[in-house]
């Protein structure tokens, strides 16, 4: 894996909120076909880094590259179109819309303008939505309003929505939070399968260390907006600075 091409590269990323450096000089790389973890205590800058990488937030300094192209100043829809997709810590599905409708809208987000969301969806788009819902074992809920789904099912739907544009890299923000243990195992299997059979790369923000240890080859650890450590899950869990950051006084 370490020989594969780079998909995403963040160089010395800095993001301030007022006087607070929420992300402070972080270097991060995700290569094609990798599953990489991003962990750190609450408030360490993980979500802010995701927002910078997916271009939802402008950065104060540093550079971001996707597939070798400088996307430092690109718009979120442009990087989505290039194959970078993401989910959010707070689930973002349209509660009044059905599961299928949520999926169809996500497809159109990637490629086109907002206006295209008003057009009827292409049969090919609907076929892809149905296939993905089948893969995620959500087919029986296809006409259910998203607001009626359990927390875990909504997470799965959100992952499905992120997969609609057929991205090369998916940034998953806390895919397991609020999800029961059985569904956590399912989400893990889905990520593994998408990685193995379709070569999709993932960058995972997670509190669930076992989830990270089971899936990731490499893990980045943030603390106070800075990179505290980087290595295999095993190395990270034995790293004294990491243990101190999580459990220290
Ligand atoms: P994590 O995802 O690791 O929990 P965040 O990226 O959410 O951390 O937050 C990093 C720091 O930036 C925290 O101190 C948080 O309070 C602050 N922060 C995050 N978003 C904002 C914002 N929109 N405005 C001001 N401060 C923010």
For 63-72, 176-185, 190-199, which range has the lowest pLDDT when averaged over its residues?
Answer: 176-185
* pLDDT the model gives residue 52: 97
Q: 57 C-alpha to center of ligand 1: Å?
A: 12
User: Lowest-confidence range among 9-13, 103-107, 178-182?
Assistant: 103-107
Can you give the pLDDT at residue 93? 81
Q: For 27-46, how does the pLDDT look when each residue is reduced to its tens digit (9 = 90+)? A: 999 999 999 999 999 999 99
Pocket residue to mutate for ligand 1, from 23, 38, 48, most atoms within 8 A of Cβ: 48
178-200 average pLDDT score: 92
| Secondary structure in 3-state letters for 85-145 | EECCCCCCCCCCCEHHHHHHHHHHHHHCCHHHHHCCCCHHHHHHHHHHHHHCCCHHHCCCE
Q: How far is the CA of 193 from the centre of ligand 1 (A)?
A: 32
Q: Is 12 helix (H, G, I), strand (E, B) or coil?
A: strand
- Residues 135-144 have pLDDT tens digits of 999 999 999 9
Which tokens belong to 4?
A: 């594969």
Query: pLDDT (tens digit, 9 = 90+) per residue, 77-124?
Result: 889 889 999 887 767 788 889 999 899 887 655 445 555 555 656 778
Residues 64 and 9: beta-carbon distance below 8 Å: yes
Greater pLDDT, 3 or 146:
146
pLDDT > 80? residue 2: no
d(CA 52, CA 49): 5
Pocket of ligand 1 (CB under 6 A): 17, 20, 22, 40, 42-48
- The first and second tokens of residue 130, run together, are 């149905």
> Which ligand 1 atom is at minimum distance from the Cα of 173?
2
What is the number of the ligand 1 atom nearest to the C-alpha of 48? 6
Q: Which residue has the higher pLDDT, 16 or 80?
A: 16
The residue with greater pLDDT, 107 or 223, is 223
- Residue 70 above 90 pLDDT? yes
- Mean pLDDT over 209-225 rounds to 95
Q: In this predicted structure, what is the pLDDT of residue 116?
A: 56
ipTM: 0.98
- How confident is the model at residue 119, as a pLDDT? 61
Distance from residue 13's CA to the centre of ligand 1 (Å): 15
Instruction: Show the domains of the chain with their CATH numbers.
Output: 6-92+163-247 (3.40.50.300)
Q: Write out the two tokens for 148.
A: 């009626």
């Amino acid at each position: 894996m370490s020989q594969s091409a780079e998909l995403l590269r963040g160089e010395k990323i800095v993001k301030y909120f007022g006087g607070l450096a929420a992300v402070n000089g972080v270097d991060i790389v995700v290569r094609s076909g990798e599953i990489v973890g991003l962990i750190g205590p609450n408030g360490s800058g993980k979500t802010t880094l995701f927002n910078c990488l997916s271009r939802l937030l402008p950065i104060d300094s540093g550079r971001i590259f996707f597939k070798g192209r400088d996307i430092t100043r690109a718009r979120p829809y442009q990087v989505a179109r290039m194959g970078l997709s993401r989910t959010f810590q707070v689930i973002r599905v349209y509660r009044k819309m059905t599961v299928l409708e949520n999926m169809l809208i996500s497809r159109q987000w990637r490629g086109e303008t907002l206006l295209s969301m008003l057009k009827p969806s292409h049969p090919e788009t609907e076929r892809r939505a149905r296939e993905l819902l089948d893969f995620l074992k959500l087919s029986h809920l296809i006409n259910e309003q998203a607001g009626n789904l359990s927390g875990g099912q909504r997470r799965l739907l959100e992952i499905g929505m992120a997969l609609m544009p057929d991205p090369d890299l998916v940034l998953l923000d806390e895919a397991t939070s609020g999800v029961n243990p059985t569904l956590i195992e399912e989400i893990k299997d889905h990520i593994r399968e998408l990685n193995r059979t379709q070569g999709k790369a993932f960058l995972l923000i997670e509190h669930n260390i076992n989830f990270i240890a089971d899936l990731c080859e490499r893990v980045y650890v943030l603390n106070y907006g800075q990179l505290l450590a980087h290595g295999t899950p095993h190395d990270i869990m034995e790293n004294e600075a990491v243990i101190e950051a999580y459990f220290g006084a």
